[in-house]
Structure 1
Amino acid sequence: MPPVVTTAASQADPHSNAPNQSMPHGGSYGRALTLLATLFFMWGFITVINNTLLPHLRSVFELTYTQTTLIESVWFIAYFFASIPSAKLIERIGYKASMVTGLLIMAGGALGMMLAASIPSYSVTLIMLFVIASGITLLQVAANPYVAVVGPAETASSRLTLVQALNSAGTMMAPLFGSYLILGRSKSGTAVDGAVLTPAERLADAHSVILPYALVAVVLIVLAVVIARYPLPAMGSANSRMAREERKAHSLWAHRNLVFGIPAIFIYLIAEIGVANLFVNFTSQHDIGNLTHEQAGRYLTLLWGGMMVGRFAGAAIMQKVNARHVLAVASIGAFIVMMITVLAHGPVAMAALILVGLFHSIMFPTIFTLGIKGLGPLTEEASGLLIMAIAGGALVVVQGQLADAFGLQTSFLLTAACELYILFYALWGAKTKEEQVR
């Protein structure tokens, strides 16, 4: 695997990084950490803007649920295909230059979204979202290792928690931004569910995307300039991988927790992205929330806020409780609220869908940690495979097809099924070799 695997390993075990000699001295590393944290905020923010953009585009282009969820599928397909080229680019130009490049690619995609809105064009929109997602992939591959080196090794975990919290802050603020500047300024966003728009109204709605993406492009360009001028520390050599000959004596596939962990990440992403992408459409239905898309977009903030609260609570709980047990309880809770979402109506169904964010919060980091547990010298390879499994989010289009065929509410049975696999993984699939012997 290319250096993207090294990034994953850094993310999984920040304490493995030795102090870097070129690291800023004294309190100056705090300023570097603050700057890096803005990157986590921005990619969380831009990713979740999609959740308010999708119902808007569905009205503008008169899309089916399949076509709507295809937009998010393109996003995760980009994540899959761009990861290896991103790692090779980092190898050639370095981490700092790659961060700047990633931000500029994202800015280019945001400017392209303005073009797509001006035409307007569904195909150009897909292409530009692919470009933005590719920039985010490069940014993630380049930025994660820095969190472990811009300060003392003993506080690396707290720094990772901080930047993840800011990532969650970005996901919380994005729905408000999208609701006010996209849905709130469009006819489809302020109309009741099922309203029919004239061609002139759809064109005006398409143009409402221009301003928010212009603002996003400006922020990204400014951030790229700031990072280019800031003296970030150079990466050390403590992340070097194990010699190829030595690794040949080990097998990844002998570890049950990894073998079942890869599909667990893949399947979890289907659940998380499906809920987030279809949230606005679901809660705006007459028999659920009877909201406009703008109002529903504000409630989406509660979903992401629940995930942020759950991350902090889960981190504290797992200091005393076995992570597999916490994951099992979370998956049971998620299954229950998803079944309520499918079977109930009105505010009860809406509240249940919001609550799933609380149960989803700890799933990705917990599955990731359990997947690499006990792999020793194979940790880097395992981490890389788990990160590549994030592409599972592209299969959210399956839920779109189910929504078209059987109804939006019924389509959440797919999410409930995903929670059952996570429960299976927590109770059996995540056991390491040592735990299997007990």
Structure 2
Amino acid sequence: MASSPMMSDNSSLNESRGTEKQTFALVSLTSLFFMWGFITCLNDILIPHLKAVFSLNYTEAMLIQFCFFGAYFLVSMPAGYLVKKIGYQRGIVTGLVIASFGCALFYPAADQAVYGLFLGALFVLASGITILQVAANPYVNALGTAETASSRLNLTQAFNALGTTVAPYFGAVLILSVAAGAGSELSHAQAEAEQVKLPYLLLSGMLATLAVIFSKLKLPVIEGHGEVRSDGKPVEYLGKTNAIGHRHLALGALAIFVYVGAEVSIGSFLVSFLGESNIAAMEEAEAAKYITYYWGGAMIGRFIGSAVMQKIPAGKVLGFNATMAALLVCVAIASSGATAMYAILAVGLFNSIMFPTIFSLALQNLGPHTSQGSGWLCLAIVGGAIVPLLQGVLADVLGIQLAFFLPVLCYGYILFYGLKGSQVELVSSKEHV
């Protein structure tokens, strides 16, 4: 029997309302992507500053990234279970509250001027950001069709890159420049105490405000991502009883590990790299502002990538970008002066689409294992703790320039994942049931 015009109109109206809700949710989520990008990138300013204040070597300075990204390793899986229980929206609010508390802890850390307290505050802050990532990334992935998931996540991640673009300038002005000009009556540690309090208290207030706002918003509820049956047994999907059993997810977790490691390593060493006499011989405050170009390239690349992946398969775009990033790092290693400087800054443009593209490719066809899969991928962000620490050891032994060969190896694996590893295993219809 043919449907009546009234039924058709109601169906169109409901579809239109559903689309409006999804659009509103995506717009709201962009603020979160901006904030955690901003906070994460401030580490690139803290590293050279605390290195000077506490007279640290490269390995010790990289403990900042180790503590920050180590939180992803410890918190991601519990966060996945938490989000599964309380839902994406409440998970986002929980993450914001914890991140706000972590920023507030910078006040006593700065007051005491103790390096270990800074590391503790960073761990708490990163724990909140981890919960945000576990909730927000798969939520964006689910707000629309699977075909446009990579494009959609790249678009929201572009605002994450906007935060990373603004943060270095903010940090250079409020932390490095002011502390560098502190009066002689203050010790380096006291100057650090005075300059770090205000920026992080402001961030704490902003995160707390966002938590209140997101607790009041009416966001669409995503159904069908439960991982446990009513009898308590795990759901079997495509022959697998857990997310990590899916080959493309397991390989994708490793891709996230090496990508975040490479991206964070390059960003962490930029100020020191540009300060080298054979590169640009810049003062810290001046060099910090150039990090904006690195992260600004990532922002521009994500907007471009979002459009490109409407036409070209995401895996091929990922493979191309990995190749270009590896070549640019090789140029930075083999050259000096302006050539090396602009080569390493240009890597950001090709880093741009990697995280959201790997994330969405790895979550393909996970069905009820999606939130658990997101937990595994966020756990793999611990690469941002391990790889920079390894590069710090290499920089102490080989020098800062030669140590950049480590990110080249990381991009080699990402090339493999884009072209081969991201392909979803085919299953028979019998297994699918």
What is the TM-score normalised by the length of structure 1? 0.81
In structure 1, the partner of 2:213 is 226
Distance 1:201 1:33 in 2: 43
Q: CA deviation at 1:157?
A: 7.7
Residue 159 of structure 2 contacts residue 299 of structure 2 at CA under 8 Å; is this kept in 1?
A: no
- Show CA shifts across 1:174-200 (max 9, x none): 111111101111128x9xxxxxx9982
Secondary structure of the equivalent of 2:187?
Answer: helix
Residue 151 of structure 2 contacts residue 309 of structure 2 at CA under 8 Å; is this kept in 1?
A: no
Q: What are the equivalent positions in structure 2 for 1:308-327 lying under 5 Å apart?
A: 308-327=299-318
Secondary structure of the equivalent of 2:77?
Answer: helix
Q: CA deviation at 1:355?
A: 0.8
Letter in 1 for 2:190: L
Letter in 2 for 1:237: E
In structure 2, the partner of 1:406 is 398
- Show CA shifts across 1:294-319 (max 9, x none): 11111111111111111222233333
> Residue 139 and residue 24 in structure 1: after superposition, are their counterparts in 2 closer, same or farther (change >3 A)?
farther
In structure 2, the partner of 1:204 is 191
In structure 1, the partner of 2:122 is 129
In structure 2, the partner of 1:342 is 333
> Residue 26 and residue 382 in structure 1: after superposition, are their counterparts in 2 closer, same or farther (change >3 A)?
closer
Residue 87 of structure 1 contacts residue 141 of structure 1 at CA under 8 Å; is this kept in 2?
A: yes
Pairwise CA RMSD:
3.4
- Match status 1:63 vs 2:62: no
Letter in 2 for 1:357: G
Distance 2:194 2:316 in 1: 49
Q: What are the equivalent positions in structure 2 for 1:90-109 lying under 5 Å apart?
A: 90=83, 95-109=88-102
In structure 2, the partner of 1:421 is 413
Residue 146 of structure 1 contacts residue 235 of structure 1 at CA under 8 Å; is this kept in 2?
A: no
Letter in 2 for 1:41: F
- Match status 1:303 vs 2:290: no
Distance 2:375 2:96 in 1: 23
> Residue 119 and residue 379 in structure 1: after superposition, are their counterparts in 2 closer, same or farther (change >3 A)?
closer
Q: CA deviation at 1:201?
A: 3.3
> Residue 133 and residue 249 in structure 1: after superposition, are their counterparts in 2 closer, same or farther (change >3 A)?
same
Distance 2:381 2:126 in 1: 13
Q: How many residues of Structure 1 are paired with residues of Structure 2 in the alignment?
A: 407
Distance 2:220 2:318 in 1: 37
Secondary structure of the equivalent of 1:238?
Answer: coil
Distance 1:114 1:306 in 2: 33
Distance 1:378 1:95 in 2: 15
> Residue 208 and residue 24 in structure 1: after superposition, are their counterparts in 2 closer, same or farther (change >3 A)?
farther
Q: What are the equivalent positions in structure 2 for 1:76-155 lying under 5 Å apart?
A: 76-90=69-83, 95-144=88-137, 147=140
Mean CA deviation greater in 343-352 or 247-256: 247-256
Where in structure 2 are there 5+ consecutive unaligned residues?
Answer: 1-11, 427-433
Secondary structure of the equivalent of 1:319?
Answer: coil
Secondary structure of the equivalent of 2:106?
Answer: helix
Distance 2:336 2:117 in 1: 37
Mean CA deviation greater in 163-172 or 24-33: 24-33
> Residue 155 and residue 354 in structure 1: after superposition, are their counterparts in 2 closer, same or farther (change >3 A)?
closer
Secondary structure of the equivalent of 1:260?
Answer: helix
- Show CA shifts across 1:211-255 (max 9, x none): 211211222222223333x24236243333475353383487886
Residue 133 of structure 2 contacts residue 378 of structure 2 at CA under 8 Å; is this kept in 1?
A: no
Distance 2:18 2:417 in 1: 44
- Match status 1:216 vs 2:216: no
- Show CA shifts across 1:304-344 (max 9, x none): 11111112222333333343332232222111111111121
Where in structure 1 are there 5+ consecutive unaligned residues?
Answer: 1-18, 191-196
Distance 1:403 1:186 in 2: 26
Residue 155 of structure 2 contacts residue 302 of structure 2 at CA under 8 Å; is this kept in 1?
A: no
Q: CA deviation at 1:385?
A: 3.0
Identical pairs, percent? 43
Distance 1:326 1:25 in 2: 31
> Residue 110 and residue 301 in structure 1: after superposition, are their counterparts in 2 closer, same or farther (change >3 A)?
same
Distance 2:21 2:421 in 1: 44
